[in-house]
Structure 1
Amino acid sequence: MDNNYQIFGIRAVIEAINAGKTIDKVFIQKGLQGDLFKELNSLLKSEQIASSFVPIEKLNRLSKKNHQGVIANISPIEFHNFENLVMNTLEQGHTPTFLLLDQLSDVRNFGAIIRTAECTGIDGIIIQKQGSAPITADTVKTSAGAVFNVPIAKVEHLKDAIYYLQGSGIQVIAATEKTDDSLYNVDFTLPTAIIMGSEGTGISPSILKTVDKKAKLPMYGSIGSLNVSVACGVFLYEVVRQRF
């Protein structure tokens, strides 16, 4: 992790939050106590900032600096307001394409997906505040800088985002193996949002119940699935093929 994207110590993190810095996630040493910790914990909850209690060994791996039991990742980008992003995109008059990521956890996969999204003209990426991969120095590097060009919005609940997109006339397509319908039978000339799932478990069952269509990639080898960033690339370029 690039130290330019980290803050160390309870007081420093509190001051950064109060100063309006975009904090992606805070890692806190298990067992940490005291009034200052209580102030930080209360602030994290009120500002709805993702946090995780971890062993000191995890913190030591994240940084060699004197972290005092707390390390915060600062996002290198400013996140967009989700509803404004959708409305502004629709007002532009072209057929929109959005990408939703359900609990994607690997920062390098995230970076690779952002890079492909930028190359294919995606209008925005939507992630959930809790449980999503943070935007780190590795994300920036893997995206080849595309992270600064693609609007990214965080939402409380992905389900609510899906309902909002559907209410805005945008079909929501789930990329999943849990269907017999092929990717190549989907009409991507329509306004579309594509959901990609996590590396281990794919799209959560509750999310799958809300989508308009499910689609899978044809698989002919002995391995049952592709890396999520590779699968995402196939989906996005099928959108490009149909539209252009």
Structure 2
Amino acid sequence: MKNFRHQHKRPKKNTLIIGRSAIIQAFKEGKQLDRIYMQTAVHGDTIDEIKALAEKHMVPINKVPVEKLNNFNVSNHEGCIAQISKIQYQDLQDVISFVVEKGEAPLLLILDGVTDIRNIGAIARSAYCFGVHAIIIPDKGVGALNEDAILTSAGALEQIAICRVNSLMKAVDDLHLNGIKVFASVMNAEKSTYDCNFAEPTAIIMGGEEKGIYPALMKISDEKFSIPMLADFDSLNVSVATGIILYEAAKQRK
């Protein structure tokens, strides 16, 4: 597999929206944006409008120096460049309602702090293969779902529903309101994957490899579990661990 960590490809110009007015117009036309690169310390009414629209539509804003914007090799960016999303994000409630109406028990995956696009790509492949209905990600603190992420997922990111939310805490509350049980994957939990009932309406939280699951998020989960291992080793790679867990869920559901 290619090493994407050190590749910094300049986005194609036809994937960029350049300038303040153009970005505002893109929001009004309903275009889905992956993120906005905004020059540090810019201000003004149009900047305030972009920030408000970005918050409303859960589009992350990356504050960057002007050199970063100039590196896109475009002119008249006015301190703002947006990138059109390769992913068509879905509304979480719409996905849940659709799955339930089909007579199926929702199986959802929540990614908390997973930033490596290779891991995200591998997770998406496993999720799609094992019947996950949607992957839930926060609008901040997650790897960009760009062309490289789609490539590492072998296209799975374009096949599975992706729900981007501005708060994973609120998302868990919404899941609970829909009767969905939330499981948290924790390395040292006493309960194992074999003891969990993943056949019921289920959401599984996977944390980033460095910090794991955010403590407050873990606190409001319904059950914590771990993957039983024969060797005394620190932990599994998050994408490998996700694949093991989702295989168990698919086996139970079958």
Return the TM-score normalized by structure 1. Answer: 0.87
Q: In terms of mean alpha carbon deviation, does 100-109 or 76-85 score higher?
A: 100-109
* SS of residue in 1 equivalent to 2:150: helix
Structure 1 contact 175–196 (Cα < 8 Å) conserved = yes
How far residue 210 of structure 1 moved from its aligned partner, in angstroms, is 1.0
1:90-110 deviation digits (Å, cap 9, x = unpaired): 121123211111232223322
Question: Aligned pair 1:78/2:88, yes or no?
Answer: yes
Q: Equivalent residue for 1:158? A: 168
**Number of aligned residue pairs:** 243
Q: In terms of mean alpha carbon deviation, does 40-49 or 152-161 score higher?
A: 40-49
How far residue 118 of structure 1 moved from its aligned partner, in angstroms, is 0.8
Matches for 1:120-131 after TM superposition, within 5 Å: 120-131=130-141
Question: Aligned pair 1:175/2:185, yes or no?
Answer: yes
Of 195, 201, 217, which residue of structure 1 is paired with 2:227? 217
CA distance in 1, matches of 2:32, 2:165: 14
Q: Equivalent residue for 2:32? A: 22
RMSD, aligned α-carbons? 2.4
Relative to structure 1, the CA distance from residue 146 to residue 67 in structure 2 (aligned partners, 3 Å threshold; closer, same or farther) is: farther
Of 40, 60, 64, which residue of structure 2 is paired with 1:54? 64
How far residue 59 of structure 1 moved from its aligned partner, in angstroms, is 4.2
Q: In terms of mean alpha carbon deviation, does 84-93 or 64-73 score higher?
A: 64-73
Mark the runs of 5 or more structure 1 residues left unpaired by the alignment. none
How far residue 178 of structure 1 moved from its aligned partner, in angstroms, is 4.1
Matches for 1:94-113 after TM superposition, within 5 Å: 94-113=104-123
Structure 1 contact 175–214 (Cα < 8 Å) conserved = yes
Relative to structure 1, the CA distance from residue 29 to residue 185 in structure 2 (aligned partners, 3 Å threshold; closer, same or farther) is: same
How far residue 195 of structure 1 moved from its aligned partner, in angstroms, is 0.8
* SS of residue in 2 equivalent to 1:240: helix
Structure 2 contact 89–162 (Cα < 8 Å) conserved = yes
CA distance in 2, matches of 1:176, 1:60: 43
Relative to structure 1, the CA distance from residue 106 to residue 65 in structure 2 (aligned partners, 3 Å threshold; closer, same or farther) is: farther
Aligned residue identity for 1:238:
E
1:3-42 deviation digits (Å, cap 9, x = unpaired): 2433333343233223221112112122334565455345
Mark the runs of 5 or more structure 2 residues left unpaired by the alignment. 1-8
Of 213, 226, 251, which residue of structure 2 is paired with 1:203? 213
1:54-74 deviation digits (Å, cap 9, x = unpaired): 23454466x344473433222
After TM superposition, the runs of 4+ consecutive aligned structure 1 residues lying more than 6 A away are none
Aligned residue identity for 2:199:
T
